[in-house]
Structure 1
Amino acid sequence: MAVADAESGGPGGLEQAAEVFAGMRPRLFGIAYRMLGSATEAEDLVQDVWLRWQGYDRTTVDNPAAFLATTITRLAINAAQSARARRETYVGPWLPEPVDTSADPHLGAERGEALEFAVLLLLERLSPTERAAYVLREAFEYPYRQIADIIQLNEAAVRQLVSRARKRVLVERRAPVSRSEQRRLLAAFITAARSGDLKALEELFAEDVISYSDGGGRVRGASRIPVVGASRLAKVIRAFSGSFWTGVEVAWASTNGQPSALLSRDGEVFAVITVNASEQGIDQVLWMLNPAKLTAVSV
């Protein structure tokens, strides 16, 4: 009876199920986050998978890790379809929710692919199924045959999806600078932005730099359209340098595996700023200002 209890979901079985799930949890979150760009939504899916795993007849599961990965991926595909519809009515630019990878090293522990903001933004242009295939292959190195089983396509179709997504990322993204150079450029940008140094800002930017401010319609002053061009962006930043930076403290962190600046007033983070850069200079400036998206970071 004890053996039957353990196998059918009794106390012993549930304890073992929890142990298996805990071992897979970082990967499950990593898949869901890369699919959705939202730590909050990813956590919700992980909890959903746990509830399903608890109630499932686990005696029928030969490979728990594969079962859990399949479940989270299919849920994430459905969630991504709903998220795409919601983002059509999102106020202003939408940016991924930053996650503190210095506090949660498991997120990028296996492979850092499909984690950086620039790549996540490019993946937004893919269909949910294409994105799933790319994430499973590039971030977690799943075999094509297993990806085919997970997303319910044949292996040849999966290879095409991954190849197409990989080419899009390579073609549409300039070769990034090193982490140390990115950190230097970010620090220089923060210094120039605080002082409103127009010349210094223009020298840091690539000619076609683009700035995205995600306030979600909840933050006054957050631009509801991207600001494009080195000269224009420098002038915009200088125009609000005095009011924006008053009483601001800057802390440095690693979000999504890249250097970021956490801006706070009275100990509360109100913005995360990061830059993406190539040999041409800073290509993108990302301002995460929506309070709902800053719950996963702190000073």
Structure 2
Amino acid sequence: MSGHTTDPATEAFVAHRNLLFTVAYEMLGSAADAEDVLQETWLRWVKADLGQVRDQRAYLVRITTRQSLNRLRTMTRRKEAYVGSWLPEPLLTAPDVADDAELAESVSMALMLVLDTLSPIERAVFVLREAFDIGYDEIAAAVRKSPAAVRQIAHRARRHVNARRPREAVPPSMTRAALESFQRAVETGDLQGLLDVLAPEVVLVTDGGGVKQSARRPIIGAEKVARFIIGGSGKAEVALTGDPTVINGNPALVLRVDGAFDGVITIRVEDGRITGLYYVRNPEKLTRVESEIPLTRR
């Protein structure tokens, strides 16, 4: 028999760790900050009197939520000083994340950018209720509000998000088809092919973090986006290629310039055409696209 034993606090934390990371990541959009939140959650968890904890999962989610809210407020100041557009940190996710349509949508770049427009408390309530189906009483305890206030916040946040999210869910096959057309056009320098797959009102957001070159503001309109992509590689006389992957539970491309890793691009698709392009080039945000990150709603 093994002489190694694990104490109950550690067992509970390990059992729920992937859930806690997912909660923190959806609230923050940063894996690095989510990991810090988990460390802070652990430090508070080991000090808890487990004999007084009736629901360990709920208690851990409560701690994680409160620490995420604290971190969100400091992140707001960091984003204000950020160079150029800010995008969530992309994660290479396991196939089971893509198989869970609700989880894949909740961690998609498109939706997480919408969540960025909510206040910290609205984001916390929306994530806990919509993504994890946590009851209003539990959410109220986590955010230190009354259940009635939480219901009002949830309604307000849901209305805000629904007005900005895609009108209907898009099957992964449609996203992959659009991504393949985009990849072919980019790799061959086919301007018309790119225009054909881009919606007229498409928006391109690039995140270089002041380290890699990127557009300081979103680029809007198919013509401008196509010329920015095709023209940029053409002027530099470089070969731009893409490797299909799954980022945040959704089809994506790893882009390479002359064979060297350059960044990750994800898309938003509506009616078969691309309405959003999200290109992360900041090296500090690309440390979690080589090994799969487990995410879960349970």
What is the deviation of 1:162?
Answer: 1.4
For 1:24 and 1:34, the matched residues in 2 are separated by: 16
Distance change in 2, residues 1:130/1:167 (3 Å) = same
Provide, for residues 186-244 of structure 1, a one-character-per-residue CA deviation record: whole Å limited to 9, x for no partner: 11112112222111111111111110000001003x11111111111111112112366
What is the DSSP-based 3-state SS (H/G/I as helix, E as strand, rest coil) of the residue aligned with 1:30?
A: helix
1:253 CA displacement: 1.4
Aligned to 1:8: none
**Any idea what SS the aligned residue of 1:172 has?**
coil
Q: Distance in 1 between matches of 2:52 and 2:101?
A: 31
SS of residue paired to 2:129: helix
Q: Does 1:179 align with 2:172?
A: yes
Inter-partner Cα distance in structure 1 for 2:29 and 2:63? 18
Question: 2:101, 2:252 → 1: CA distance?
Answer: 19
Q: 1:108 deviation in Å? A: 6.0
RMSD between aligned residues: 2.5
1:51 matched to which residue of 2?
43
Residue 142 (structure 1) aligned to one of 107, 126, 134: 134
Q: Deviations over 1:233-258 (max 9, x none)?
A: 11111211236683555322111111
Q: Secondary structure at the match of 1:285?
A: strand
Question: How far apart, in 1, do the equivalents of 2:263 and 2:65 lie?
Answer: 30
The question of whether the paired residues in 1 share the 8 Å contact of 2:187 and 2:239 is answered with no
CA contact (8 A) 1:209 1:282 kept: yes
Q: What secondary structure sits across from 2:163 in the alignment?
A: helix
2:193 is the counterpart of 1:200: yes
Q: Distance in 2 between matches of 1:216 and 1:254?
A: 23
2-structure distance, mates of 1:195, 1:266: 14
Q: 233-242 vs 28-37, which deviates more?
A: 233-242
Which structure 2 residues correspond to residues 270-281 of structure 1 after superposition, within 5 A? 270-279=262-271, 281=273
**Residue range with higher mean Cα deviation, 266-275 or 103-112:** 103-112
Deviation for aligned residue 1:110: 7.9
The gaps in structure 1 that reach 5 residues or longer are 1-10
Given that residues 96 and 117 in structure 1 are in contact (C-alpha distance below 8 angstroms), is that contact kept between their aligned partners in structure 2? yes
Shifted more, 249-258 versus 35-44: the winner is 249-258
Q: Does 2:12 align with 1:20?
A: yes
- The residue type paired with residue 127 of structure 1 is S
Partner of 2:113: 121
Task: Check conservation: 1:30, 1:107, Cα contact below 8 A.
Answer: no
* Shift of residue 63, structure 1, vs aligned partner: 2.2
Q: How many Å separate the matches in 2 of 1:277 and 1:106?
A: 16
- The corresponding residue for 1:92 is 84
1:214 matched to which residue of 2?
A: 207
Distance 1:232 1:264, change over 3 A: closer
- 8 Å CA contact 1:194–1:241 kept in 2: the answer is no
CA contact (8 A) 2:91 2:248 kept: yes
> Structure 2 residue aligned with 1:161, among 153, 165, 169?
153
- TM-superposed deviation, 1:88: 0.9
Residue pairs, 1:211-290, within 5 angstroms: 211-220=204-213, 222-242=214-234, 246=238, 250-264=242-256, 269-279=261-271, 281-290=273-282
Contact 1:32 1:72 in 2 (8 A): yes
Q: Percent sequence identity over matched residues?
A: 39
After TM superposition, give the deviation of residue 75 of structure 1 in Å: 0.5
In 2, the alpha carbon distance for the partners of 1:227 and 1:247 equals: 22
TM-score by length of 1: 0.88
From the superposition, tell whether residues 203 and 105 of structure 1 become closer, same or farther in structure 2 (CA, over 3 Å): closer
Shift of 1:138: 0.7
1:273 & 1:65 partners in 2: Cα distance?
Answer: 34
Superimposed CA distance per residue, residues 65-113 of structure 1 (whole angstroms, 9 cap, x where no aligned partner): 1211100000001111111111011111100001111278499698445
Separation (CA, whole Å) in 2 of partners of 1:15 and 1:38: 30
Superimposed CA distance per residue, residues 37-86 of structure 1 (whole angstroms, 9 cap, x where no aligned partner): 01111011112211222233333323221211100000001111111111
Greater relative contact order (Cα 8 A, min sep 6): structure 1 or 2? 2
CA displacement at 1:120 relative to structure 2: 0.4
Paired residues in the alignment total: 288
Q: Which moved more, 1:118-127 or 1:148-157?
A: 148-157
The answer to whether the 8 Å contact 1:93/1:213 transfers is yes
